[in-house]
Structures are given as C-alpha cells and as structure tokens.
C-alpha cells in the first residue's frame, strides 16, 4: 500500500493524518471530560450527555444568528459569547435534571442509565420540534477560515488549530478546578467518602448538583466547539455517546489524566487506520480492540488506588 508514494509524500500523509487524529483527539477530550466528571467522579451514567452537547451546539447556532442579525460588525468574536451561552444553558439544564431526577437514583446506577436515556429521547424530539430535522451549520468568522501551509505538502486548518487550543485551555481549567481549588477538594472528598465528607461539613447534595452541572456545561462547550468543524442535527448526540463512554471507561473511570490518555490513543489509532481501510472498518477495529482490552483489564488504563 506504500507503492507509488515518494518518501516525502508519505511523510506528509502521515503528518496530515496525525493532524486529523489530533483534531479527533480534541473532540474526544472535550466530549469525555464532562462525562469523566459525571461518570468517573460521581458514578452517574448520563446517556443524555450527547444531547447536552447538541444543546450547546444549537445555542452557538442561535448566538451566531443573533450576532448576524443585530451586530454583524462584531461577528468575529461571536464564538466567545456563544461558548459562555452554551456553558450556561447546558449547565443550568444539567442542574435542573440533577435536582428533578438524578438525585433520587444515586444508589441505582443502572436505573439512572434508563432514565437518562429517556431524557435523551425527549431532548432529541425537542430539538427536532424547535430547530427542525435538518442539520444546521454556523458561518465561521473570517479569521477562522482557510489554512496555514507549513510546507508545500502539509497544510493545517485554522479552525482545527483553534479547537485544539480551546481543548487545551478547557482541560487546564478543569484540572485547576478539580485539583487546585477548594471546590474541587470538596468534590473529590464526596466521591471518596460521602458520609465522612458530610461529617466534616460539606454539603454533599449541593456539591453533587454543581458537579453534575459542570459536567453538562463542559458538554455544552464541546458542542459549541463542534459547530466549528461540522454541522449539527437533532440526533447527532447519539452518534458520540458510545465513543465517549468507551474513552472514559478505557481511561480508568476515576482518572482525568487517564481519560485524556485514552482519548489520545483511541483517536490516533482510528485516524491512522482510516488511511489504510474504509472509515467504518477503522471504527469497528478500534472499538473492538478497546472492548477486548476492557474485557481483560476492566479497570482501564489508569487506576485510582483507593481503599474501599
């Protein structure tokens, strides 16, 4: 399969493929960070995670429409506003869901799964009724279009670079919040030992609500970033949910660093294989390998050592 390519061309192909893999990596990280907080830290299976993402995407779409209508001059910066809107909308809905549904189900994880699946169906139909069944896309601001030519044969898209930068920023922010702030300390305390955390005066219900909201909010930002590289439809969230869960489980559910490492492994594997075979077979093979590894090593790549 390497016939007919010169060494330089082959190098460029691999570089481009690696870059595509990096974009996929950013997408996976954005998707799974929120879930890693909700599933990994709280142990809640949120099947509607994809729909929270799509909510963020639609919020971005609405914001871009609003900017086009009322402030076309400021269109260059609409995305930053949209991200905040997406975070707030998804986060607020997440907190509402936690309050009305999830908090009754903490002891029944499999039931949470069914209930949030129901929620995802409702959200899908709501999107379809409000925004229509057709996919919508946003118009990129001018500075985000085009690509940078690094050499004659290697080009990278600016929107891809932007998404990668954004992912790095969010990952750092989540790290600071979880491991360097007082609030993150409370979250980790509740995760490790709920009764004891309560005994030292942490309001565990409030912590739960905000943690769930944060996870959903990050999903919203992920959806917002998605609009930069693709269009949004009402059922798009379902496409990602399996990948996202596998990334989180493969990384070792309780470890944020593991999530990032596993997102990197899976995305690079998939995009490299996509060059050699059809996209669907690459996906099947990647998922199969992940599933097989999980069968043998169910605790995932990184294990948080806790005495239970």
- Taking CB under 8 A as the rule, does residue 133 contact other proteins? no
CA dist., res. 104 & res. 155, Å (int): 51
Residue 54 contacts by C-beta under 8 Å, 6 or more apart in sequence?
A: 123, 127, 223, 232, 233, 234, 236, 237
Contact between 269 and 289 under an 8 Å Cβ cutoff? The reply is yes
With contacts defined by CB under 8 A, name the span among 12-20, 60-68, 85-93, 238-246 that binds other proteins: 238-246
> Of 74 and 126, which CB lies nearer to other proteins in the complex structure?
126
End-to-end CA distance of the chain: 52
Q: Which of 105, 257, 301, 304 binds other proteins (CB under 8 A)?
A: 105
CA angle 99, 51, 228 (to 5 degrees): 130
With contacts defined by CB under 8 A, name the span among 79-87, 123-131, 190-198, 208-216 that binds other proteins: 123-131
Rounded least distance, CB 100 to other proteins, Å = 9
Q: Which two tokens stand for residue 298?
A: 């169910």
- Taking CB under 8 A as the rule, does residue 108 contact other proteins? yes
Contacts of other proteins in 32-61 (CB under 8 A): 43, 45
Q: What are the two backbone dihedrals, phi and then psi, of residue 232, each rounded to the nearest 5 degrees?
A: -120, 130
With contacts defined by CB under 8 A, name the span among 72-80, 106-114, 160-168, 264-272 that binds other proteins: 106-114
> Of 153 and 278, which CB lies nearer to other proteins in the complex structure?
278
Q: Which of 8, 76, 118, 132 binds other proteins (CB under 8 A)?
A: 118
- Taking CB under 8 A as the rule, does residue 242 contact other proteins? yes
Q: Which of 57, 82, 83, 246 binds other proteins (CB under 8 A)?
A: 246
Contacts of other proteins in 260-299 (CB under 8 A): 278, 280-281, 283-284, 287-288, 290-291, 294-296, 298
Number of C-beta neighbours around residue 134 at 10 A: 9
Rounded least distance, CB 262 to other proteins, Å = 14
With contacts defined by CB under 8 A, name the span among 98-106, 143-151, 196-204, 262-270 that binds other proteins: 98-106
Contact between 213 and 34 under an 8 Å Cβ cutoff? The reply is no
Taking CA atoms, 90 is separated from 79, 212, 219, 231, in Å, by 16, 10, 7, 19
CA dist., res. 168 & res. 190, Å (int): 27
Rounded least distance, CB 303 to other proteins, Å = 14
Number of C-beta neighbours around residue 8 at 10 A: 11
Q: Which of 245, 260, 261, 274 binds other proteins (CB under 8 A)?
A: 245
> Of 95 and 119, which CB lies nearer to other proteins in the complex structure?
119
Q: Is 42 helix (H, G, I), strand (E, B) or coil?
A: coil
- Please name the residue that has the structure tokens 């909510």: 55
Give per-residue burial for 172-197: e unless 16+ CB within 10 Å, then b.
eebeeebeeeeebebbbbbbeeeeeb
Rounded least distance, CB 287 to other proteins, Å = 5
- Total residues contacting other proteins by CB under 8 A comes to 45
> Of 220 and 300, which CB lies nearer to other proteins in the complex structure?
300
Rounded least distance, CB 53 to other proteins, Å = 17
155-157 and 147-149 beta bridge pairing? antiparallel
Binding site for other proteins (CB under 8 A): 43, 45, 101, 104-105, 107-115, 117-126, 128-129, 238, 241-242, 245-246, 249, 278, 280-281, 283-284, 287-288, 290-291, 294-296, 298
């Amino acid at each position: 399969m390497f016939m007919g390519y010169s060494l330089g061309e082959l190098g460029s192909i691999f570089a481009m493929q690696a870059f595509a893999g990096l974009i996929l990596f950013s997408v996976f990280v954005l998707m799974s960070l929120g879930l890693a907080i909700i599933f990994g830290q709280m142990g809640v299976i949120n099947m509607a995670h994809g729909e929270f993402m799509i909510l963020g995407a639609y919020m971005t779409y609405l914001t871009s429409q609003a900017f086009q209508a009322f402030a076309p001059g400021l269109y260059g910066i609409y995305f930053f506003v949209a991200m905040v809107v997406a975070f707030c909308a998804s986060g607020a809905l997440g907190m509402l869901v936690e309050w009305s549904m999830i908090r009754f189900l903490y002891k029944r994880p499999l039931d949470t799964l069914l209930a949030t699946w129901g929620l995802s169906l409702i959200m899908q139909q709501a999107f379809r009724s409000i925004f229509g069944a057709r996919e919508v896309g946003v118009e990129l601001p001018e500075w985000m279009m085009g690509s940078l030519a690094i050499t004659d044969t290697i080009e990278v898209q600016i929107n891809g670079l932007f998404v990668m930068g954004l992912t790095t920023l969010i990952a750092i922010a989540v790290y600071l919040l979880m491991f360097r702030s007082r609030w993150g300390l409370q979250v980790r305390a509740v995760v490790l030992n709920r009764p004891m955390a309560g005994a030292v005066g942490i309001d565990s219900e409030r912590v739960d609500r905000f943690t769930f909201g944060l996870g959903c909010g990050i999903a919203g930002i992920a959806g917002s970033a998605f609009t930069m590289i693709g269009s949004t439809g009402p059922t798009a969230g379902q496409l990602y949910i399996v990948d996202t869960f596998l990334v989180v489980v493969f990384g070792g559910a309780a470890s944020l660093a593991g999530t990032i490492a596993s997102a990197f492994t899976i995305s690079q594997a998939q995009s490299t294989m996509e060059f050699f075979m059809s996209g669907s077979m690459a996906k099947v093979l990647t998922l199969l390998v992940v599933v097989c590894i999980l069968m043998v090593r169910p605790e995932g790549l990184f294990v948080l050592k806790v005495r239970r």
